[in-house]
Amino acid sequence: MNKIPVLDLKKQIGPIRGEIDAAIAKVIDNTNFILGQEVRDFESDVQKYCGVKYAVGVSNGTDAIKLALAACGIKPGDKVLCPAFTYYATAGAIAATGADPVFVDIDPETYNISAEGITTALKNDEGKKIKAVIPVHLYGQCSDMDVIMKIAVKHDLKVVEDTAQAFGAEYKGKKAGTAGDFGSVSFFPGKNLGAFGDAGMVMTNSESAADKLRILRNQGNKDKYYHLVLGFNNRMDTIQAAVLRVKLKYLDSWNKKRQQNAEYFNRQLSGLDIKTPFVPSYTTHIYHQYILRLNSSSKGLIGHLQGKGIDTRVYYPLPLHMQDCFKYLGYKEGDFPVSEKASTTTLAIPVYPDLAQEELDYIVNSIKEFLR
Ligand SMILES: Cc1ncc(COP(=O)(O)O)c(C=O)c1O
């Protein structure tokens, strides 16, 4: 058996290479390389796909969060809630606005932000500085948005859904990232819908917010060389939009294949001493990552699979409250036990759409061999 990587983009791109080459060639012919026609077309594709009024193409998923927060008016001195267990960018984007992240522990079953944790953080917020919350739809399934929106309305919080890993998933029949004030998306190449470089999107149903986003992403100008506000260079490249337009057509079928692979793993590993993903009835899961959980450290299984040529990853080995870069916030080990435990007992195995049946079987058998 050949080595099995966590993701093999060559297999994904191969069959649609001709279509993508033609789309890129068209951009080269037109030479409108930044915010060109394909960006506007891709924005309207995303609006239709997600059933959202406005979609604003930006430079990447991190900037998408930062721009959404900036459009909410988040500023230095404010605080923003986010899970302690997510990719750095969620909290990095908060810090980029000058605000402080306030970490919240996760739910042990879904790995998404804990609603009780949000309520506790708000109770402890004596100066009433918390102005927004960022639920992250980690691994590809949605946080419980109804519960989060209820808390947000009560406490007058803005909600930015970090949909970097869940583009195409659905919460109660509606696309991820469309329930809050904003949904931020990443099209990092390894995402289920990935560009050929960095790209991102902010979604919103508010016309005035969409206007602000378009101004903020483009150096704060509405008319060229007249700058209304202090903005950023966070525009989307036309070539990325052209690639993404082609790939969007295939996203649902790729996600379906990931779901079939995940269901296969679930069936094959059921009844064994290992925990497969829990998917609540309010959300679908698009399995950006398929996460397994052990009763103790995941290191043994990771080493065993590595020996078998199966690549795995830990998302994420160190929760954010324990990262050096966030020391200034004053957290310590033990503050978020559920996040800390998840960081040492979980692992992601390959689940990408192009895995062959024999590769799926090989992965399952290698895990079973370890558990025996
Ligand atoms: C949860 C989460 N938030 C934000 C980001 C940032 O996206 P990008 O890499 O496009 O800046 C990522 C992915 O990289 C992510 O996984």
Rounding to the nearest 10 degrees, give the CA dihedral for residues 248, 190, 177, 340.
Answer: 160
How sure is the predictor about 350, in pLDDT bands with cuts at 50, 70 and 90?
very high
Which residues are 171's β-sheet partners?
174, 283
* Percent of the chain's residues with pLDDT above 90: 99
pLDDT of residue 1: 85
Please compute the mean of the pLDDT values over residues 221-232 and round it to a whole number. 94
Q: Whose CA is nearest to atom 7 of ligand 1?
A: 61
Ligand 1 center to 61 CA (angstroms): 5
Atom of ligand 1 nearest to the CA of 165: 16
Ligand 1 center to 361 CA (angstroms): 31
pLDDT greater than 90 at residue 335: yes
**Cβ within 8 Å of residue 21, ≥6 positions away:** none
Ligand 1 center to 162 CA (angstroms): 8
**Cβ within 8 Å of residue 224, ≥6 positions away:** none
Would the CB of 62 count as within 6 Å of ligand 1?
A: yes
Contact criterion met (CB below 8 Å) for 316 and 362: no
For the chain, list the domains and their CATH numbers: 9-245 (3.40.640.10), 251-371 (3.90.1150.10)
pLDDT greater than 90 at residue 128: yes
Mutate which of 6, 59, 62 to test ligand 1's pocket (most atoms within 8 Å of Cβ)?
Answer: 62
CA distance 270 to 53: 42
pLDDT of residue 240: 98
Q: 125 is written with which tokens?
A: 């917020």
CA distance 369 to 184: 40
Return phi, psi of residue 185, to 5°. Answer: -130, 145
Chain CA centroid to CA 43, Å: 18
Would the CB of 162 count as within 6 Å of ligand 1?
A: yes
pLDDT of residue 148: 98
Ligand 1 center to 27 CA (angstroms): 26
CA distance 19 to 44: 20
Q: Whose CA is nearest to atom 8 of ligand 1?
A: 61
**Residue indicated by tokens 């699979």:** 305
Would the CB of 201 count as within 6 Å of ligand 1?
A: no
* Percent of the chain's residues with pLDDT above 70: 100
Please compute the mean of the pLDDT values over residues 126-132 and round it to a whole number. 96
Would the CB of 59 count as within 6 Å of ligand 1?
A: no
pLDDT of residue 19: 98
Instruction: Give the residue with greater pLDDT, 1 vs 186.
Output: 186
Selection from 117, 169, 175, 111 nearest residue 147 by Cα: 117
Selection from 95, 103, 105 nearest residue 74 by Cα: 95
Q: Which amino acid, one-letter code, is at 140? A: G
| 310-328 pLDDT, tens digit each | 999 999 999 999 999 999 9
Helix (H, G, I), strand (E, B) or coil at 191: coil
Would the CB of 86 count as within 6 Å of ligand 1?
A: yes
Atom of ligand 1 nearest to the CA of 93: 4
What's the mean pLDDT when you consider all of the chain? 98
Would the CB of 259 count as within 6 Å of ligand 1?
A: no
Burial class (CB in 10 A: 0-12, 13-18, 19+), 278: middle
pLDDT greater than 90 at residue 279: yes
Mutate which of 59, 67, 87, 160 to test ligand 1's pocket (most atoms within 8 Å of Cβ)?
Answer: 87
Ligand 1 center to 64 CA (angstroms): 9
**Residue indicated by tokens 């279509």:** 19
Angle between helices 357-371 and 238-269 (to 10 degrees): 50
pLDDT greater than 90 at residue 23: yes
Please compute the mean of the pLDDT values over residues 123-132 and round it to a whole number. 96
Q: Whose CA is nearest to atom 4 of ligand 1?
A: 89
Ligand 1 center to 191 CA (angstroms): 9
Ligand 1 center to 352 CA (angstroms): 18
Angle between helices 207-217 and 61-71 (to 10 degrees): 120
Helix (H, G, I), strand (E, B) or coil at 55: strand
Return phi, psi of residue 189, to 5°. Answer: -50, -35
How sure is the predictor about 220, in pLDDT bands with cuts at 50, 70 and 90?
very high
pLDDT greater than 90 at residue 103: yes
How sure is the predictor about 25, in pLDDT bands with cuts at 50, 70 and 90?
very high
Contact criterion met (CB below 8 Å) for 6 and 364: no
